[in-house]
Structure 1
Amino acid sequence: MSFINQVKIVAFLMVLFATISANAQQIAQDSIKSEKLDEVVVLATRANKNTPITFTNVKKEELASKNLGQDLPILLNQLPSVVTTSDAGAGVGYTGIRVRGSDATRINVTINGIPYNDAESQGTFWVNMPDFVSSVEDIQLQRGVGTSTNGSGAFGASLNLRTLSPKAEAYANTTNTIGSFGTRKHNLSVGSGIHNNFYANVRLSKIKSDGYIDRASSDLSSFYTEAGYIDNKTSIKAIIFGGKEKTYQSWYGTPKAVVEGDTEGIQAFIDRNYPSDAEAQNLLTSGRTYNHYLYDNEIDNYEQTHYQVHVSHKFNQYFTGNFSVNFTKGKGFYEQFKDNEELGDYFPNSPNATEEGNLIRRRWLDNNFYAFVYSLNYKKENLNINFGGGYNKYDGDHFGEIIWDSFPSEINIRENYYNNLGSKRDYNTYVKAEYNLNNLFLFADLQYRKVTYKAKGISSDLLNIDTNQEYNFFNPKLGLSYKLNNYNNFYASLAIGNREPNRDDLIKNPVLPKSERLLDWEAGYKYQRKNLYVNTNLYYMDYKNQLVLTGELDDVGDAIRQNVADSYRAGIELQAGYTFSKKFRIDANATFSMNKIKQFDYVVYDTQYDPNTWETVSYTPITTTFKDTDISFSPNIIAGSTLTYNPLKNLSLGFISKYVGKQYLDNTSSDYKSMPSYFVSDFNASYSIKPTWIKEITLNLLVNNIFNKEYVANGYTYSYYYRPENSNNIAITEVFYYPQATRNFLIGATLKF
C-alpha cells in the first residue's frame, strides 16, 4: 500500500469517528475500562512486580521531553546495561542497541505482543518505524532470558512495546522540532475520545536529517491509525501503522586512522587499498565525518506496513483472554554504485565474463509476515495462570538487478542476477503460573518452541543456497520472590533459553552452525520507599555454542558470527533513585561485568597472489587460539545518571550522563582492535504553560554531548595477509569506527488542543 493510500485511510477514519455522538457521562468509566482491558493484550508477555525477572518499565511521560526525532534506541540509552549507537552519528536513521553486550539480534521485540524482529536476520530496524515512540503508551525492558514471549528467543533482553491506550476525551496534538545537522520533525496526532464505546486515534509524522556523517541523510515518513470498540467485557481494536525510509548509506564506517587524524596512517590505508583518486581525496580531507560512499543515490529505500487486530474479552471475574492477528508487508532495496566490476561477477555464464565496467545495482527484499498470538489468563485469590502461544509465518524474496552499466557488451537492464527465497515458520506455546504463599511468590514458566527455516536459490555472492533446518526447543523458567515487608523484596530465578541461527549464519558459514543454549541465573533485591528506591541484581549467563561476533562484516555490512563452545556473561546491576525535595531528584545505574569466551579460535586467511596476473595462488587459513578472552562489544562497565531539577512548577531541567567502558571489536582482547571508553553528558529542559486558548504548550530542549566529546560507539575489524607485499609474515589489520556527533541540539514545541 502506498503512503498516499495510507493517508487516505487515515483521513477516512478521522471523518468516520469524528461523527460519533458523545456520551459524556460514560467518559470516565470508559477510560478505566479501556486501561484494564488494554492490559490483557500484553499481560502474557510482561513481568509484574512479583515476577522474579529483571526488568524496567518506561512510561510515555518519561520519554516525552526527549522525543524530538531520534530513534527509540537512543531514547532508551539511560536504562541499565544499555549501550546505543547511530550509523549517521546523530540518532536519526540506522541506530542500534545492545543490552549486557548482546546486540539487537538477541533482543526479542514485540509490539502489543506481536513479534517485530526480522524473521531471517533476527535484528530490529527502527529506521522502518520513525517516530513510533509518539504512539507508545509504555515500554518494558526485560534483561536476560526474561519471561516467555512470542517470536525469536531472547538471549540478551526482551523489549515489549504497548501502543497508546484509548483516551477518554478527544484530543489533537502537534509537535515540531528543529535541530543540528538539518534535523527536523513534524507530527500531528488526533483522537476522538471514547464515545458510545467507540474511539479512534491517528498520527502522521515526518522526520528529516542530514546526519553528522557526510551525506548520511534520512528522509522518514510514518503513520499510525487505530480504531476500536470497548465495553465492560470486550475490547476490539484494529491498528494500521507503517513507515517509509530513504536513508543514505553510512554502513561502511570510518577508518581508524581517519578518525584519529593520523595522516601517515591514512596514506598507508590508501597505499594498500588502491582507492580511486576521488576516494583517496575523500579519505585525506573528510576528517571524522568521512563517508566512504560518494555516489549521490547510495541509498536504502524501504517501506513497511503493519496490520493488527486485537480482541480481548473478560469471560467472568476469573477468566480473561486475548487473541491477535498481524500481517506485515515490507518491500524495498538498497542501491549501490560499483566501479571496475567484472561482468562475470554478475553473469558468470556470459561469453564476455572478463569484461570490466561500472554499474549501479539494487538488491531487493520483498517479504510478507503473518502472526497469530493468543493468551488466556486465570486469576483467583493467590493463583495466577497464563496459557498462550503463537504461530508466525514469514516468506521473503531476495533478488538483485543492475539498473545501469558501462560494460562493452549489452546486458538486459533489470534482469535479475540472483534470486533466492527464504521461508520461516515459528510456533510456540507456553504456560506460566504464579502462586502467592504468605508473601512468597512462586513462579514457573514452561515454553515449547518449534522453528523451521528453508532457503533456496542463488545468493548475492552467486552461490547456491539450499538449506532446510528444523529446531525444537524447550525453555523452562523457575523463580521465586519474597516480600519481606512493604519496603524489601528479594527474588531469584533460573531460566533456560534456546535459539536458532539466523539466515546469514546458515547460508554464509562454511560449517553449519549449531543452535545456541543459555542458562541464565538471576538474583536480586529491591528496596522501595516514598522518596528512595534501590535495586540490585546479580546475573550469570552461561552459554553453550554461543554465536559470537568475530568483528568482521560481509560486503553489505552484516556481522559474521561463529559458534564457541563455552562462554559466559556475569555481572551486577545497580539502580538507585532519591528525591531530595519537590525540586531535586537523582537517578543512577551502573553495571559491572565480566564477559568471557573460554576458548576462541581466531582465523585469518593467508591469500597469496600471482604478482603478474593478480590471480589467487593459494588461500590458507591461519588459526590462533585465545583462552579466557573478552567477548566483543561487551564493556565491563556501563553507568548512567540523571539529575532532575524543577525550579518552577512547570519547568524541568535534566543533566544526563553516560559512561561506557572499553569495547573490543573482536574476541582477541586486542587493544588495537578496540574502542576507547567514553563519558558523555546531555542537557534536557522542558517548560509547559496552559494559556486559556489552548490546553497546553510544551517547549523541549535537548543538547546532546554538551562537553563536545569526540567518541565512537560502534565499529568492526578484520585481518588478512596480502602476499607478496607483506612477506614479513605479519597480518594487516583494518579497523573501522562509527564516530558519534559532537555537541548538537534539538528544540521542539508541542501544542495540545
Structure 2
Amino acid sequence: MKKITIFLFLFTSALVNSQSFTISGKIYDENNQPLAQATVFIKNANKGTSSDFEGKYQLQVSPGTYQVEVRYIGYKTQVKPISIGRQNKELFFYLTPETNLLDEVLVAAVRVKSNAPVTHSNLSKKQIEKRNLGQDIPMLLNYLPSVVSSSDAGAGVGYTYINVRGSNAERVNVTINGIPYNDAESQGTFWVNLGDFASSTQSLQLQRGVGTSTNGTGAFGASLNILTDATSENAYGEIANSFGSYNTRKHTVKFSTGKINEHVEIAGRLSKIYSDGYIDRAFTDLKSYFLQASYTDENTLIKAVTFGGKEKTYQAWYGIDATQLKDNRRQNPYTYENEVDDYQQDHYQLHWNQKLNDHWSTNVGLNFTKGQGFFEQFKEDEDVADFNGIVLATNGSGETDLIVRRWLDNKFYVANFNANYQDDRLELISGLSYSSYSNDHYGEVIWAKQFAPNAAIRDRYYFSDASKNDFSIFSKATFKVTDRFSAYVDLQGRFVNYQTKGITSDIAPIDVDTNFSFFNPKFGASFNINNQQQLYASFGVANKEPNRNDFEGGIRAHENLHDYELGWRFNSQNITINSNVYYMRYTNQLVLTGAIDNSGNPIRATSGKSYRLGLEVDAEIRFNKNFSLRPNIAISDNKNLDFKAPINGQIANLGKTNLSFSPNVVAGNALVYHPTEQFQVALLSKYVGSQYMSNLNSAVTENDVLDDYFTSDFNISYEWKTNKVFKSILFTGLVNNLFGREYVDRGYYFTYDDTWSNANQTTTVDGAGYYPQATRNFLVGVTLKF
C-alpha cells in the first residue's frame, strides 16, 4: 500500500508539472484605452506574443514563477512577476508614456495608432539598433513593404534614397518630432545632412499612401515620422565603433545625465562616418551631432533639441553609362580632385508639451534650420557667354576651362501648435503649422584660365532668390461608435505661396510668384470582427504644388491624388498579418521622366491621368520560441493613361504606359533565429521586379528598362551583460549582398532629337545612366554601454 501511495504521488506530481496553464489579461494605456499589438514576453520562459485588437493577450506556460514583460512603442516597458501553480492566472498592464507627454502628443499629432484605418509600419529603437552600423535611414527601411532603397556610392552611405509605392523621396513627407524635414523648395530629403541620425532615433513610423494629415510638403506616396531620443530616467554612456568594406567606419559617442533632481536631463551624441564608397573615389565624410536638454514634471515637458552635421561627398550622382557599366562597374568618370558636394545644416527645435487635465493636452513646437554649402565642379571647353562676362575665351571657339561653385544659402522657420482631447469614446486633435523658407541660389567662378579685366575670383555668374510660406490647419477625430466599430475623420487646409526671381544655373531667367490653396479631407473606419481580426477602409485626398525644378521646366499646375485603402489585420498568438489593397488615382501626376538635371536631381513632367493599384501583405509567423518568419510582398499595377510624348519630331500617343520607377513586384523576408533575448541571427532577403526608367514603354529603345534583382543580407547581434566596467557590450555584424549579386537598383534615361543624321527626318536618340550597387560587403561593430 505504501508503494502504491508513493507511485500515485509521483505520478500526480509529474502530471501537474507536465500540464500547461494560461497567463492572460489586457494591456491598456493610462486612459484605459486598449493597446493593440503590444509585445508580451516571458523572459525566463523565452515565450512571447502580442496583444490583439482589444488589448488582450494569452500565453501557455508550465507551473513556475515568471517575469512578464510588456513593450509598446512610445511607452515605458513594464515587468510584473507571477507564479503559476494549479490554475490559470490573469495579469493586467497599464502603460505610461515613455517621455511624459512628448511621445503621447507627437504620436497623436503626426502618427496613427496600431488600429487606425491607415496603412503603416513601425520601427522601434531596439529594432533599429541591430542594424545600425553607419548606413543611412533609407537603407534601414529597405525591408519594409513597398520600399526600395538605393545609394549613389553603392554602399548605403552618403547620398541615399527611398522609393515607396513607386514614389520617390520628393513625394515622401518626412517630419522630425513633427517638424517638416523635406527641403521646402526642392521637396527632396537629403539624408546625407543627417549622418548617423539612426543613433538618435527613438522610433519611426512609415505611413503608405496619403496617410494622416502632417506638416510640410504633401505626402503623395508615403510619410515618414521620426521621433528623436526619449528623455532618460537614468544616466548612461555609449561608445560605438564599426568598420567594414570600402574603408567604411563609424565612431559614435552618446551620453545622458539622467534625471537631475527628478526634472532635468541633458543628453547628446557626436558621430563621424567615413566611407570610400563602392564606386571609385565616391567618398563620403560625415560629421554630425545631437544635443538635447529637457525639463519634466508631472504635467509638463519642455525639450530643447539641436542637431545637424557637415557632409563632404565626391561626385557620384551622375552614375555611369552602359559601356562603362560593362567595362568596369566601379569606375567613376570624374577625375577632378575636388568635384565634391560640401554642405552644412543645423537644426534648432523647442517643444513644450502641457497636460492640462485628464482630457486635454497641448503641444507647441518651434524650429529654425540653417543650411549653406556648395557643389564644386571642373568644366572643360565651356562657352564664355554663359558666365556673365567674368571669364575670357582661351581659344578661337569662344570657350575656356574653369572651376565653379554652385551655392545654396537657406533658412527655414517653423511654428506648430496642437491641442489634444481624449476620453473613452473620442480622440480629437486640432492644430496648425506655419513655415517660412528663404534660399539664395548663386554660382561663383573660383578659377579660370583667364578672367576678364574687371572680374575677380568668386564673382557670381548667376543668382536667384526664393521664398516659400506654408500655412496649414487641421482637425482629426476618432470616434468609438461601439466597442467594435470606430470612425475616423481628418480635415486639412493648406495654403502655399512660392516666389523666386533671377537667373538659374542654366543661365535661364526664372520669375515665379504663385499661390496654392488645398483642401485635403480624409475619412476612414475600423471594425473588429473579433479580438483577432480587424477590417479597415479609408479614403483620402492629397494635393501637391510643383517644386523648383518643375517651375524651371515650365510646369505650373498642381497634382491631385485620391487614395482608396481597404485592409484586413489578423493577430493571434503565433501569427500576425497586415494586408491591404490600395487604389491611388492621380490627376496631373508629376512623373519622373527618367532624366536628371545638372545637379543630379530628377526631372519630372505632368502625365495627365494615371493610377497605382496594388496589394500589400506583411506578416510575422512565430514557429516556436526561437524561430520566426517575417515576409512581405507588394504586387502592383502602375499606369499612365493616354500618355503622349515627342518621338521623331512628332507627338506620339502611346496610350496606356507603365509609370517610371514603379516595379510591379517588391518583396522582402526576414528569417530570424532568436534563442535568447540577447542573441539574434537574421537572414534578410529582398526582391525587386524589373522597372522602366521612363514612361515611354521602350518606344525608342529598350535602354529604359532596369532588370529585376534579388539580394540577401545576413545580420547577427549579441549583447553581453557584463555588469562590471560596462553594463553591456553589444556586438553587431552585417553582411550585405551575401551572395555577391551584381545589380543596378536605380538609373536615369533621356532622349533628344537628332536633326543632323538625316536632313529630311528628325530622329529621337536616347541614353541612360546607371547606379551600380555594391557586391558582397560587410560591417562589424561594438557598442560599449555604461
Normalised by the size of structure 1, how large is the TM-score? Answer: 0.89
Residue correspondences, number: 684
SS of corresponding position for 1:34: coil
Alignment of 1:325 with 2:366, yes or no, is yes
Residue 459 (structure 1) shift? 1.2
In the alignment, which residue of structure 2 is the partner of 1:427? Answer: 471
Paired residue for 1:576, among 614, 619, 635?
619
Q: Contact 2:565–2:582 at 8 Å: present in 1 too?
A: yes
Residue 639 (structure 1) shift? 0.1
Residue 351 (structure 1) shift? 8.5
Q: Deviations over 1:485-509 (max 9, x none)?
A: 2111100000000000001111x21
In the alignment, which residue of structure 2 is the partner of 1:715? Answer: 747
In the alignment, which residue of structure 2 is the partner of 1:298? Answer: 339
In the alignment, which residue of structure 1 is the partner of 2:69? Answer: none
Alignment of 1:374 with 2:417, yes or no, is yes
Distance in 2 between residues matched to 1:537 and 1:417, nearest whole Å: 52
Q: Report the residue type matching 2:637 in the other structure.
A: M
In the alignment, which residue of structure 2 is the partner of 1:471? Answer: 516
In the alignment, which residue of structure 1 is the partner of 2:652? Answer: 624
When structure 1 is superposed on structure 2, of 234-243 and 686-695 the one drifting more is 686-695
In the alignment, which residue of structure 2 is the partner of 1:441? Answer: 486
In the alignment, which residue of structure 2 is the partner of 1:595? Answer: 638
SS of corresponding position for 1:74: helix
Paired residue for 2:688, among 656, 660, 664?
660
Residue 349 (structure 1) shift? 9.0
In the alignment, which residue of structure 2 is the partner of 1:526? Answer: 569
Paired residue for 1:70, among 129, 135, 138?
135
Alignment of 1:140 with 2:210, yes or no, is no
Relative to structure 1, the CA distance from residue 473 to residue 649 in structure 2 (aligned partners, 3 Å threshold; closer, same or farther) is closer
Residue 50 (structure 1) shift? 2.9
Q: Contact 1:33–1:230 at 8 Å: present in 2 too?
A: no
Alignment of 1:288 with 2:333, yes or no, is no
SS of corresponding position for 2:198: helix
Distance in 2 between residues matched to 1:158 and 1:127, nearest whole Å: 19
In the alignment, which residue of structure 2 is the partner of 1:23? Answer: none
Q: Contact 1:41–1:310 at 8 Å: present in 2 too?
A: no
Q: Deviations over 1:56-105 (max 9, x none)?
A: 11101111111000010000000000001100000000000000000000
Q: Deviations over 1:173-223 (max 9, x none)?
A: 111000000000000000011122110111000000000001100000000
Q: Report the residue type matching 1:213 in the other structure.
A: I
Alignment of 1:537 with 2:580, yes or no, is yes
Residue 576 (structure 1) shift? 1.1
Relative to structure 1, the CA distance from residue 352 to residue 341 in structure 2 (aligned partners, 3 Å threshold; closer, same or farther) is closer
Residue 311 (structure 1) shift? 0.2
In the alignment, which residue of structure 1 is the partner of 2:703? Answer: 672
Q: Report the residue type matching 2:257 in the other structure.
A: S
Q: Contact 1:300–1:334 at 8 Å: present in 2 too?
A: yes
Q: Deviations over 1:545-566 (max 9, x none)?
A: 1111111112221211111210
Q: Contact 2:97–2:103 at 8 Å: present in 1 too?
A: no
Distance in 2 between residues matched to 1:526 and 1:300, nearest whole Å: 45
Q: Report the residue type matching 1:718 in the other structure.
A: F
Distance in 2 between residues matched to 1:33 and 1:534, nearest whole Å: 27
Paired residue for 1:121, among 169, 177, 186?
186
Relative to structure 1, the CA distance from residue 31 to residue 434 in structure 2 (aligned partners, 3 Å threshold; closer, same or farther) is closer
Alignment of 1:57 with 2:116, yes or no, is no
In the alignment, which residue of structure 2 is the partner of 1:546? Answer: 589
Q: Deviations over 1:404-454 (max 9, x none)?
A: 001374432100001100100000000001100111110000000000000
Relative to structure 1, the CA distance from residue 736 to residue 327 in structure 2 (aligned partners, 3 Å threshold; closer, same or farther) is same
SS of corresponding position for 1:731: strand
Q: How does 1:691-702 map to 2 (within 5 A)?
A: 691=722, 692-702=724-734
Q: How does 1:450-529 map to 2 (within 5 A)?
A: 450-506=495-551, 508-510=552-554, 512-529=555-572
Q: Report the residue type matching 1:679 in the other structure.
A: F
SS of corresponding position for 2:99: helix
Q: CA RMSD in A?
A: 1.8
Q: Contact 2:388–2:462 at 8 Å: present in 1 too?
A: no
Distance in 2 between residues matched to 1:31 and 1:207, nearest whole Å: 36
Distance in 2 between residues matched to 1:180 and 1:622, nearest whole Å: 50
Q: Report the residue type matching 1:338 in the other structure.
A: K
Residue 730 (structure 1) shift? 4.2
Q: Deviations over 1:18-58 (max 9, x none)?
A: xxxxxxxxxx9999672444321332111112321001111
In the alignment, which residue of structure 2 is the partner of 1:9? Answer: none
In the alignment, which residue of structure 2 is the partner of 1:283? Answer: none
Distance in 2 between residues matched to 1:466 and 1:492, nearest whole Å: 43
Q: Report the residue type matching 2:779 in the other structure.
A: L
In the alignment, which residue of structure 2 is the partner of 1:414? Answer: 458
Paired residue for 1:684, among 715, 718, 733?
715
Q: Deviations over 1:524-543 (max 9, x none)?
A: 00001122101110000000
Residue 663 (structure 1) shift? 0.9
Q: How does 1:11-30 map to 2 (within 5 A)?
A: none
In the alignment, which residue of structure 2 is the partner of 1:272? Answer: none
Q: Contact 2:643–2:657 at 8 Å: present in 1 too?
A: yes
Q: How does 1:210-359 map to 2 (within 5 A)?
A: 210-261=276-327, 287-347=328-388, 355-359=398-402
Q: Give % identity.
A: 47
Relative to structure 1, the CA distance from residue 465 to residue 729 in structure 2 (aligned partners, 3 Å threshold; closer, same or farther) is closer
Distance in 2 between residues matched to 1:505 and 1:55, nearest whole Å: 30
Relative to structure 1, the CA distance from residue 108 to residue 77 in structure 2 (aligned partners, 3 Å threshold; closer, same or farther) is same
In the alignment, which residue of structure 1 is the partner of 2:767? Answer: 734
In the alignment, which residue of structure 2 is the partner of 1:25? Answer: none
Greater relative contact order structure (CA < 8 Å, 6+ sep): 1
Q: Contact 1:57–1:138 at 8 Å: present in 2 too?
A: yes
Q: Contact 1:31–1:168 at 8 Å: present in 2 too?
A: no
Alignment of 1:391 with 2:438, yes or no, is no
Distance in 2 between residues matched to 1:351 and 1:88, nearest whole Å: 36
Q: Contact 2:118–2:212 at 8 Å: present in 1 too?
A: yes
Alignment of 1:110 with 2:175, yes or no, is yes
Distance in 1 between residues matched to 2:712 and 2:606, nearest whole Å: 37
Relative to structure 1, the CA distance from residue 37 to residue 95 in structure 2 (aligned partners, 3 Å threshold; closer, same or farther) is closer
Q: Report the residue type matching 2:207 in the other structure.
A: Q
Paired residue for 1:193, among 258, 262, 276?
258
In the alignment, which residue of structure 1 is the partner of 2:40? Answer: none
SS of corresponding position for 1:330: strand
Residue 257 (structure 1) shift? 2.4
Q: Contact 2:271–2:289 at 8 Å: present in 1 too?
A: yes
In the alignment, which residue of structure 1 is the partner of 2:785? Answer: 752
SS of corresponding position for 1:344: helix
Instruction: Structure 2: give runs of 5+ residues left out of the alignment.
Output: 1-79, 81-93
Normalised by the size of structure 2, how large is the TM-score? Answer: 0.85
Residue 476 (structure 1) shift? 0.3
Q: Deviations over 1:327-363 (max 9, x none)?
A: 0000000000001112111126989696321111000
Distance in 1 between residues matched to 2:677 and 2:354, nearest whole Å: 41
Relative to structure 1, the CA distance from residue 408 to residue 150 in structure 2 (aligned partners, 3 Å threshold; closer, same or farther) is closer
Q: Report the residue type matching 1:657 in the other structure.
A: S
In the alignment, which residue of structure 1 is the partner of 2:406? Answer: 363
Q: Report the residue type matching 2:476 in the other structure.
A: K
Q: Report the residue type matching 2:297 in the other structure.
A: D
Q: Deviations over 1:620-665 (max 9, x none)?
A: x543221110000000000000001134553211100000000100
Q: Report the residue type matching 1:636 in the other structure.
A: N
Distance in 2 between residues matched to 1:342 and 1:686, nearest whole Å: 56
